[in-house]
Amino acid sequence: MTSPDWLESWSTEEGAHRVEMLFAEVFDDGDAPDGVWSAPGRVNLIGEHTDYNAGLCLPTALPHRTYVALRRRDDDVVRLVSAQAPGQEWTTRLADVAPGAVSGWGSYVAGVAWALAQAGHAVPGFDAVVDSCVPFGAGLSSSAALECAVAVALDEVAGLGLAADDAGRAELAAACVRAENEIAGAPTGGLDQAASLRCSEGHALLLDCRPGLSPLESATPVPFDLEAADLTLLVVDTRAEHQLVDGQYAERRATCEKAAELLGLSALREIPARSLPGALDALAPHDPDGVLRRRVQHVVTEIERTAEFADLVRAGRLDDVGPLMLASHASLQLDYEVSARELDLVVEAATRAGALGARMTGGGFGGSAIALVRKDDVDAVVATVQAAFDDAGLRAPGFRLAPPSAPAA
């Protein structure tokens, strides 16, 4: 079998160099960009499809980042070039950005400028180029990495100063979520943007997604010292592409909202785990095929698992989180029905080869899975996963290491 495909992250210097070179090439008027900014993709340790239910999530930032070189303009024109779409310039005027008015990858970028303006900030036009080692469609939040890199860039060139502290970063994250929901048209929750802007190196971030919380209440850094525990967080890219703008994600979200409404609640978070049986009984008359029951069961139990996982991490008991990861995966596979054959295969093979725990991460329907692995077992886990894909006739997966890394800057 061929050697494993390790997908390395770029160093900050390499990322900056790439976008500076591309900037000089495409905007060849001799004026340099005002700076280079970057933002990470994320993995979510646990707490999946809970953010839009006002629940808990526990992401870490990846070392893989999206880089942007940006220069402010004196007018309201936006010109964008991506290394991932060579030769195609994406252009708009900020005055023309509105829900439904722009499309394509540039809508994630222009959307951030629009959302900041909606929040009362004066944002100029700009020329920008982007390049990224956060893969598109791998469930690692490439869209959030793009939005958040642009958010910190605009924050600085417009002199907003929001990136200086966590409260300001929470505001930037909210603008990125609006960009994604209202301009790009993807009805995602806030997990990815909060992770990219508010995570910190060596930490996971416990997010509490109830609306109206203060920044201090909504995100708590939890030390996540893999090194000290002799553990590695392995990310397996199944290369089965997922796509959040399609109907499945929106459909899950709508089902959860419907269930909450039928129960007279504003969000499923309001159901404590001990009240789950009663809630499911109350839904039964509206639920001939059991879909509401399965979705609600996932959300309520997943929120509880996330709280337990965070408690174990806080207590330094990283060795004990594996069963929670496996239970989370099973719940996403069987009750929430967002897994994919490739993701199930990673979980099964990694566990067989000695991983402490493994699960799909992110929205699902393809994308990536994570495995928590003893350092000494990494090679065996990688080889076993690779062999399982080979035996199943699937394209070889890619592997990444995910030490908890730094936020957008």
Residue among 181 and 220 whose Cβ is closer to ligand GLA: 181
CB 207 within 8 A of CB 51: yes
48 makes contact with ligand GLA (CB under 6 A)? yes
Of the residues 51, 155, 192, 208, which is catalytic?
A: 192
Min. distance of Cβ 301 from ligand GLA in angstroms? 14
Between 117 and 310, CB nearer to ligand GLA:
310
Task: Please select the residue that binds ligand GLA; options are 135, 363, 366, 407, rule is CB under 6 A.
Answer: 363
Q: Which of 127, 192, 237, 377 binds ligand GLA (CB under 6 A)?
A: 192
Residue of 18, 19, 45, 51 interacting with ligand GLA (CB under 6 A) = 51
For ligand GLA, which is the closer residue by CB, 82 or 188? 188
**One of 55, 106, 111, 362 touching ligand GLA (CB under 6 A):** 362
List the one residue out of 211, 195, 78 whose CA is nearest residue 148: 195
- Residue nearer to ligand GLA on the CB measure, 38 or 143: 143
Nearer to ligand GLA, 69 or 145 (CB): 145
* Phi, psi values for residue 73, rounded to 5°: -115, 165
**Of 33, 41, 1, 40, whose CA–CA distance to 17 is shortest?**
33
Nearer to ligand GLA among residue 43 and residue 313 (C-beta): 43
- The minimum distance between CB 86 and ligand GLA, in angstroms, equals 27
What binding mask, one character per residue, do residues 313-352 give for ligand GLA by CB under 6 A, x or -? Answer: ----------------------------------------
CA distance 55 to 346: 26
196 binds ligand GLA (CB under 6 A): no
Q: Which of 326, 378, 320 has its CA nearest to residue 347?
A: 326
Please check whether residue 67 is in contact with residue 44, taking contact to mean a CB–CB distance below 8 angstroms: no
With binding defined as CB under 6 A, does residue 49 bind ligand GLA? yes
* String of contacts with ligand GLA for each residue 237-276, x by CB under 6 A: -------x--------------------------------
Binding residues among 126-185 for ligand GLA as defined by CB under 6 A? none
Structural contact between residues 10 and 264, judged by C-beta atoms closer than 8 angstroms: no
Taking residue 187's Cβ as centre, other Cβ atoms within 10 Å add up to 17
* Rg of the chain (C-alpha set): 21
Q: How far is CA 127 from CA 22, 108, 116, 296, 326, in A?
A: 12, 15, 17, 45, 45
Place of tokens 């494993």: 4
Two tokens, residue 3: 């050697």
Q: Can residue 208 be called a binding residue for ligand GLA (CB under 6 A)?
A: no
| 188 contacts ligand GLA (rule: CB under 6 A) | yes
Annotation marks residue 377 as catalytic = no
Q: Does 191 participate in binding ligand GLA (rule CB under 6 A)?
A: yes
Residue 175: closest CA among 200, 158, 150, 209: 150
Exposed, middle or buried, 147 (CB in 10 Å: 0-12/13-18/19+)?
Answer: buried
Contact (CB, 8 A) for 222 and 310: yes
**What is the total count of residues that contact ligand GLA (CB under 6 A)?**
12
Distance CA 124, CA 70 (A): 11
Stretch that binds ligand GLA, among 43-51, 72-80, 114-122, 305-313 (CB under 6 A): 43-51
Phi, psi dihedrals of residue 159, rounded to the nearest 5° = 65, 35
Given the complex with ligand GLA, which of 48 and 131 has the nearer CB atom? 48
User: Which stretch, 44-52, 113-121, 309-317, 384-392, contacts ligand GLA (CB under 6 A)?
Assistant: 44-52
232 contacts ligand GLA (rule: CB under 6 A):
no
Q: What pairs with residue 35 in β-bridges? A: 70
Asked whether 131 and 84 are in contact (CB, 8 A), the reply is yes
Active site residues: 192
Which stretches of the chain bind ligand GLA, using CB under 6 A?
Answer: 44, 48-49, 51-52, 188-189, 191-192, 244, 362-363
